[in-house]
Amino acid sequence: MDRYATESCHPVSLDGPLPPDPVFEAGIRRAPRREARLSENERKTALKNALRYIPTQHHEIMAAEFAKELNEHGKIYGYRYRPSGRLYGKPIHEYKGNCIEGKAFQVMIDNNLDFEVALYPYELITYGETGAVCQNWMQYRLIKQYLEMLTEEQTLVLFSGHPVGLFHSPRSAPRVILTNGLMIGQYDNLEDYNRASAMGVSSYGQMTAGGWMYIGPQGIVHGTYNTLLNAGRQQLGIPQEANLAGHLFVSSGLGGMSGAQGMACKIAGGVAIVAEVDPSRIKTRHDQGWV
């Protein structure tokens, strides 16, 4: 990194008074407790990693609050720093910013965290049980500040939700470069990932959660349609010019991705029976017209 690029990194902060205590709206899905066996030193690291975003004058209060979140939820979310009310993708002109890309990213992030879109919105999970926009609400606020500052000659760099800063870049460069969930091969397993996530050093973005571009089952319905139709041709001997008419497809799951199964089968001309144990997901897919 050259001297000019380094000097172009602009820090932001969460100065000011503490936000009020969080209020959780009834009826919104909440994430289950995350499992991670942390040692005492690892717990201290988790607290330090969360407190790095907080002004020092608030550390005493927030250290206790973060420790409670870690005990109860297996992860620190910083609920207090979530903006109150519903988040949703507003018209782009309602966002602050110095370039259209900076505003557009804010629309995309808020859409991913909408009560009507996200799987566990209070825990920043958009879909897939673990697909996170970022790790905590402090990161959300900092990312938003950076995007409001972003110009056409800068790039915002993020590592698993942690904003490194804005760096000078040509107009042809990406306005945001981010990575999620990168684990060294020796530690690329569920136990070590859960530990890293609980410590606040890794975030699993799935594909479009951490990439801020979730569009729900519509993003997978075409692939599911092709899969079902070709499975029918291979396994049932259906001719190339025919579809699944007269055939029954039985499956399970009405989540963000699996919710496309019923519609995909209908498009392919078949009939589907899809089981789901979570009534809230059935309601979501029904309200959205997927079943």
CATH for 217-287 (3.30.1360.120, 3.20.20.140, 3.40.50.150, 3.40.50.720)? 3.40.50.720
Under a CB-based contact definition with an 8 Å cutoff, are residues 131 and 1 in contact? Answer: no
Are 3-212 and 217-287 in the same CATH fold? no
d(CA 219, CA 257): 8
| Confidence at residue 231, expressed as pLDDT on a 0 to 100 scale | 96
Give 180-238 pLDDT, tens digit per residue. Answer: 999 988 999 999 999 999 999 999 999 999 999 999 898 899 999 999 999 999 999 99
Q: Which two tokens stand for residue 70?
A: 């870690």
Calculate the average pLDDT of the chain: 94
d(CA 235, CA 132): 37
- Across 111-161, the runs of DSSP E, i.e. the strands, are 125-127, 131-132, 154-159
- pLDDT beyond 70 at 6: no
Band the pLDDT of 9: cuts 50, 70, 90.
low
- pLDDT beyond 50 at 1: no
- pLDDT beyond 60 at 164: yes
Buried b / exposed e along 270-287 (16+ C-beta atoms within 10 A): bebebebeeeebbebbee
Band the pLDDT of 7: cuts 50, 70, 90.
very low
Long-range residue pairs from 66-69, CB within 8 A, at least 24 positions apart, any chain:
67/43
| Confidence at residue 36, expressed as pLDDT on a 0 to 100 scale | 85
Q: Which two tokens stand for residue 13?
A: 């902060």
Under a CB-based contact definition with an 8 Å cutoff, are residues 178 and 157 in contact? Answer: yes
d(CA 166, CA 176): 9
CATH for 3-212 (3.40.1770.10, 3.40.50.300, 3.40.50.1000, 1.10.30.50)? 3.40.1770.10
Residue type, 115: F
State whether residue 1 is helix, strand or coil.
Answer: coil
Give 33-51 pLDDT, tens digit per residue. Answer: 998 899 999 999 999 999 9
Under a CB-based contact definition with an 8 Å cutoff, are residues 290 and 269 in contact? Answer: no
Band the pLDDT of 11: cuts 50, 70, 90.
confident
Under a CB-based contact definition with an 8 Å cutoff, are residues 105 and 123 in contact? Answer: no
Would you list the domain boundaries of the chain?
3-212, 217-287
227 burial (CB, 10 Å; 0-12 / 13-18 / 19+) is middle
Helix (H) or strand (E) holding 44: helix 40-51
Give 274-287 pLDDT, tens digit per residue. Answer: 999 999 999 999 99
Q: The tokens 């005492």 sit on which residue?
A: 40
Helix (H) or strand (E) holding 109: helix 100-112
d(CA 210, CA 43): 25
95 conformational bin, left if phi > 0, alpha if psi -120 to 50, beta if neither? beta
Overall average pLDDT of the 241-262 stretch: 95
CA 92, distance to chain mean position in Å, is: 20
| Confidence at residue 10, expressed as pLDDT on a 0 to 100 scale | 60
Crossing angle for the helix pair 190-198 and 40-51, to the nearest 10 degrees: 50
